[in-house]
């Protein structure tokens, strides 16, 4: 049977409030014409940056999903994992990747661990250790700067010189992934811009996309970024175009939100900008480093 719509297995938590994880990945990938099959890792009343959140760990359910999907003989064009509910889940995700491996398949692991130098509340050192193992199975990984330092086991620094950063990207790619994309990289020449830097192992090329920095923190922008990267690569975009698309989308989301007096914990006003994902990339600003 032929299904013309591409399918992605999306392994993230479901948080009832705050625009992160599945509540971001599903609308973005659907708007990009891709069918999302969610494998929830945990169900929370809100993301972990609100106080008092409830947390239902779905570790024991996950292998049952994998078994059933196997019985149904599902085929995925991509597998995309993000926030995990326990460090045991990394092995379950690894086995799902093995079970559903396919030719030319995209495997994206967003190693969600923390931000601004800090580990997210519900996670611990064991999650970092296990995430270092899981990323070996990925084709693409998308750590932010905090997660990059955690993965290479170095103390967090707010800035890293570009040459050093490039070494770290190569170091991570040597462990397995074909493409390493690091987000939230402040630019050293001025505090007013931020950038993403990517390394593509096969061609040994580094790419950078810079954009204006807004002094506001919105949870879920990492999930938004990686969801757009996943959709874009699934549609056949080149890496630098996927980077452009994801950076522009985040910037547009921040601009759509920043002007309001607003509780930033609720994330960017995604619903206002989703339709733009159906248009081709408007402005391209990537650089080859
Ligand atoms: O966006 C990352 C993320 C995902 N899921 C949960 C979170 C966070 C960040 O705070 O708390 C539950």
Condensed to tens digits (0 to 9), the pLDDT of residues 239-282 reads 999 999 999 999 999 999 999 999 999 999 999 999 999 988 87
CB 78 within 8 A of CB 8: yes
CB 174 within 8 A of CB 166: no
Residue 216 neighbours by CB distance under 10 Å: 11
- DSSP three-state, residue 66: helix
Q: With a threshold of 0.85, does the pTM exceed it?
A: yes
**The pLDDT of residue 283:** 79
Q: Can you tell me which atom of ligand 1 is nearest the CA of 48?
A: 11
**The pLDDT of residue 192:** 83
**The pLDDT of residue 214:** 86
How many angstroms does the Cα of residue 203 sit away from the middle of ligand 1? 33
**The pLDDT of residue 126:** 97
**The pLDDT of residue 144:** 96
Residue 57 neighbours by CB distance under 10 Å: 18
**The pLDDT of residue 1:** 67
Instruction: Give the fold, CATH level 3, of 7-288.
Output: 3.40.1190
Structure-token pair, residue 266: 């609720």
**The pLDDT of residue 282:** 79
The C-alpha R_g of the chain, in whole angstroms, comes to 18
Dihedral sign, Cα of residue 145, residue 149, residue 155, residue 159: negative
Give, using CA atoms, the residue closest to atom 7 of ligand 1: 47
Burial of 191 (0-12, 13-18, 19+ CB in 10 A): exposed
How many angstroms does the Cα of residue 47 sit away from the middle of ligand 1? 5
- DSSP three-state, residue 223: helix
**The pLDDT of residue 191:** 66
β strands within the chain, DSSP E: 7-15, 35-44, 55-57, 78-81, 106-109, 114-115, 118-119, 140-141, 179-186, 193-200, 205-212, 287-288
Residues with CB under 6 A from ligand 1: 13, 15, 20-21, 44, 47-49, 83, 112, 120, 219-220, 222-223
Give, using CA atoms, the residue closest to atom 12 of ligand 1: 47
**The pLDDT of residue 215:** 83
Regions of the chain where pLDDT drops below 50: none
How many angstroms does the Cα of residue 220 sit away from the middle of ligand 1? 7
Beta strands 205-212 and 193-200: pairing type? antiparallel
């Amino acid at each position: 049977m032929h299904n013309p719509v591409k399918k992605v297995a999306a392994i993230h938590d479901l948080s009832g409030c705050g625009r992160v994880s599945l509540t971001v990945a599903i609308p973005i990938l659907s708007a990009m014409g891709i069918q999302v099959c969610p494998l929830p890792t945990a169900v929370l009343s809100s993301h972990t940056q609100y106080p008092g959140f409830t947390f239902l760990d779905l570790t024991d359910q996950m292998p049952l999903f994998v078994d059933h999907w196997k019985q149904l003989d599902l085929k995925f064009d991509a597998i995309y994992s993000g926030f995990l509910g326990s460090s045991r889940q990394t092995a379950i995700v690894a086995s799902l990747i093995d079970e559903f491996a396919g030719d030319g398949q995209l495997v994206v692991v967003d190693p969600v661990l923390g931000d601004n130098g800090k580990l997210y509340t519900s996670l611990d050192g064991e999650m970092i250790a296990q995430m270092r193992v899981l990323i070996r199975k990925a084709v693409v990984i998308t750590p932010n700067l905090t997660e990059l330092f955690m993965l290479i086991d170095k103390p967090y620094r707010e800035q890293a010189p570009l040459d050093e950063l490039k070494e770290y990207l190569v170091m991570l790619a040597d462990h397995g992934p074909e493409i390493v994309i690091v987000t939230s990289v402040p630019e050293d020449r001025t505090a007013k811009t931020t950038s993403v830097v990517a390394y593509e192992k096969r061609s040994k090329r580094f790419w950078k996309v810079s954009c204006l920095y807004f002094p506001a923190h919105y949870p879920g922008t990492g999930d938004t970024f990686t969801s757009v990267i996943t959709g874009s690569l699934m549609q056949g975009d080149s890496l630098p175009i996927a980077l452009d698309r994801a950076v522009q989308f985040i910037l547009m989301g921040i601009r759509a939100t920043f002007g309001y007096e607003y509780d930033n914990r609720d994330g960017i006003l995604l619903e206002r900008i989703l339709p733009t994902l159906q248009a081709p990339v408007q402005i391209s600003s990537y650089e080859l480093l």
